[in-house]
Structure 1
Amino acid sequence: MKKIGILFGMENTFPNAFIERVNSKGEPDIIAEAVTIDKVAQAAPTEYAVIIDRISQDVPFYRAYLKNAAISGTAVINNPFWWSADEKFFNNALAEKIGVPVPKTVLLPSKERPDGTSETSFRNLAFPMAWEEIFEYVGFPAYMKPHDGGGWKSVYKVVNPHDMWFKHEETGQLVMMLQEEIEFTDYVRCYCIGQKDVLIMPYEPRNPHHLRYASELKATGEEREKLLETIKDYTLRLNQALGYDFNTVEFAVRDGIPYAIDFCNPAPDADIYSVGPDNFEWVVEAAANMAIERAKQQVPGQVNLTWGTFMKDAIQTAPSQKASEPTPEPIPSAKEVNVKAVTPKKSVKPPKAGGDEPIAEPDPQMPTQRAAVTKAPAKNSKLKKS
């Protein structure tokens, strides 16, 4: 018997509907249930072939549990290792590389220094930064948001540099990004399940939360069909590159071009009271089918995680030793290393009784370019003194 588990928190409608839908399909030797955790021992396998993760982004204990489960064979959706590393600013950069339009975006240092750091920790950061170039590149109005956040938390609309500085004071240690505003004629939110099934939902982010899905596309006819085709293509590209099997992507449409605004939502809202009955039905059915498929594919004891093309391509193109290169000498083991005692040519004389105290060593100094350039070469150096 293979178990499909779902790990969740406050939400009620989707987890229960998901469990019922999987079990209603009558797949032999497959059953779904809510995950139960009573003990987490290192490298110990769980009883689940598949776990749908809906909450670990808020509970570090759950995230550690899922990683431990994954290395022992559980197919965790979404991949907890990649999800831990991913963030929105990187997503924007990746989207640009794979040909998906995104707003102009820059990264901003945090207003407050991280705990345990000082001014010296930031000696590599130019002061002041090239703010005029940054503002000219992004333009105003713009949006300032956490580079790795979600759920519309700590998102600010800023209308000029003074407004940005004023609101930046509230962000504490958050690393923010400043993003071009896209004045849109249409806005959509797309579910992507299993990197193949896409549901495009008209969405109005300016409405109250419970009315955001009460919207219709303004584009019509051939323009509408072309727009929907492009949005589906971009949605699949993004999720296949990132490796997410359960995600949403938001697009703002300007001058007929869909710009990806938000596409790092690996535990997206699926509540029937916010997405609506029709969208809810689609998500439950697609998620159940995907989980059953992954359970059938799962091989106990092996890693059954999904990795995106970004990671796969990076591994395939990683530099490796060429056949023509000589094999490096093996590093000797501890037993093979002979350590010779070396007696110094001149012994260090201890300070005489009643004499001066030994001089303390000066604090180490950071080498400068001037010091490095003017330092005389060693006697056996091939370089000549100038």
Structure 2
Amino acid sequence: MNLTPRIGRIGLMHGKETEFPEAVIERINRKNGDQIQAESIKIGDIPLDYECNYRLIIDRISYKVPYYQSFLKSMILGGIYVINDPFWFDTSDRFFNFGLISRLNIPTPKTVCLPSHSYGDQVSNKDLTNMIFPLDWDRVINYTKFPAILKPYNDIGWQNEITVQSKEELLYHYNQSGTATMIVQELIQYEFFVRCFVIGKKHVLPIIYDPKNRSFSSDAAPLPIELELRLKSKSQRICQALGYDMNTVDFAVTGDKICAVDFMNPVPAVRSEGVGDQNFDWVVGHLADLAIDLAKREASSYDNHHWYRVEKLPKKPRLRQSIKS
């Protein structure tokens, strides 16, 4: 793609998915092709003085490829805005997130963090002198009750979750968990389930969702207005607290009670066949608009971090191509 000096770039990083990133690229180029153009990024080796020609990068794959995370962090140091910020994404864990959200007075499941079952050859028993063994499993069970969910503390979305119905099942699956740090969590019962797509920490699209079959309901009745407003408000607060520009927040709903059961999904699957054409278009359009707005304003993820305030670091990141009105 030939770009003139007046045109700013937005780059997308993605894996095997094609429909969603291609739709976002097409939408950006169609709406602002004379000022902003989007494309997939190609990178190889990266020197320390690498000059990035992108104003903004949308990341859909670094959670699988650590090298991409290092690249994106370096780009932030150079003044690029990244959706989502890899520093926060890289350090997120479910236990901290549930603790944070519960302190916002948003209902969440009762959750217990468990030490790893094993530690590999690099950790000896002498390195674990601060650890209490054996665990008080009865106390854990009395707190979360059954049924419960056992899952890694740092997986995104609904990966590797196991429902356990008894102490025997809990211990069996915990003993198979290896070196992973796990959490065990109260399984919230519900009348129905809502997944909220959140873009830019403020635009929220609630959709009825079936977590058992991992499917969206295309013919569900509209949510009551009061409930929809509550779900949107809670989703905004959660994503503002977590710092995600793109995320989904899952709620279990029973009567007038809502419980936030998952909100660590900053790379949600977005397929037209799954969410429906209208909802797919909503997510594509709002993400494209957010990226265009941030790129035009020359926003940067740089000043979200404490090292921005270090006196010896430049107060302004490297300037890239300017966009003229």
> Structure 2 unaligned runs (5+)?
1-6, 309-325
C-alpha change, 1:283 and 1:218, in structure 2 (3 Å) is closer
1:202 maps to 208
What is the letter of the counterpart of residue 141 of structure 1? P
What is the letter of the counterpart of residue 79 of structure 2? G
Alignment of 1:268-283 (within 5 A): 268-283=268-283
- Answering whether residue 73 of structure 2 is matched by residue 76 of structure 1, we say no
1:134 maps to 140
**What RMSD over aligned residues (CA atoms) do the two structures have, in Å?**
2.1
1:254 maps to 254
What is the letter of the counterpart of residue 273 of structure 2? Y
C-alpha change, 1:151 and 1:120, in structure 2 (3 Å) is same
Tell me how far apart the structure 2 counterparts of residues 184 and 151 of structure 1 sit (CA, whole Å): 19
Q: TM-score, normalised by structure 2?
A: 0.88
- How far did residue 255 of structure 1 move? 4.0
C-alpha change, 1:283 and 1:266, in structure 2 (3 Å) is same
Partner SS state of residue 32, structure 2 = coil
Q: Give the counterpart of 1:105 among 111, 123, 138.
A: 111
Instruction: Give per-residue Cα distances to partners, 1:243-272, cap 9 Å, x unaligned.
Output: 110111111113422111111111111122
Alignment of 1:225-304 (within 5 A): 225-298=225-298, 303-304=300-301
1:214 maps to 217
1:13 maps to 19
2:97 maps to 91
Task: Tell me the number of residue pairs that the alignment of Structure 1 and Structure 2 aligns.
Answer: 302
Higher relative contact order (CA 8 A, sep 6+): 2
> Structure 1 unaligned runs (5+)?
316-386
Contact 1:76 1:305 in 2 (8 A): no
Which ranges of 4 or more aligned residues in structure 1 deviate by more than 4 Å?
A: 215-220
- Structure with greater strand percent: 2
1:62 maps to 68
Instruction: Give per-residue Cα distances to partners, 1:111-147, cap 9 Å, x unaligned.
Output: 2224400122211111223322221111111111111
- How far did residue 229 of structure 1 move? 1.2
Tell me how far apart the structure 1 counterparts of residues 287 and 238 of structure 2 sit (CA, whole Å): 19
Q: TM-score, normalised by structure 1?
A: 0.74
Partner SS state of residue 203, structure 1 = strand
2:312 maps to none
What is the letter of the counterpart of residue 154 of structure 2? D
Tell me how far apart the structure 2 counterparts of residues 219 and 175 of structure 1 sit (CA, whole Å): 39
Alignment of 1:182-201 (within 5 A): 182-201=188-207
- How far did residue 72 of structure 1 move? 0.3
% identical aligned pairs = 37
Instruction: Give per-residue Cα distances to partners, 1:145-202, cap 9 Å, x unaligned.
Output: 1110124322111111111001112211111101001110010111110111100011
- How far did residue 98 of structure 1 move? 1.0
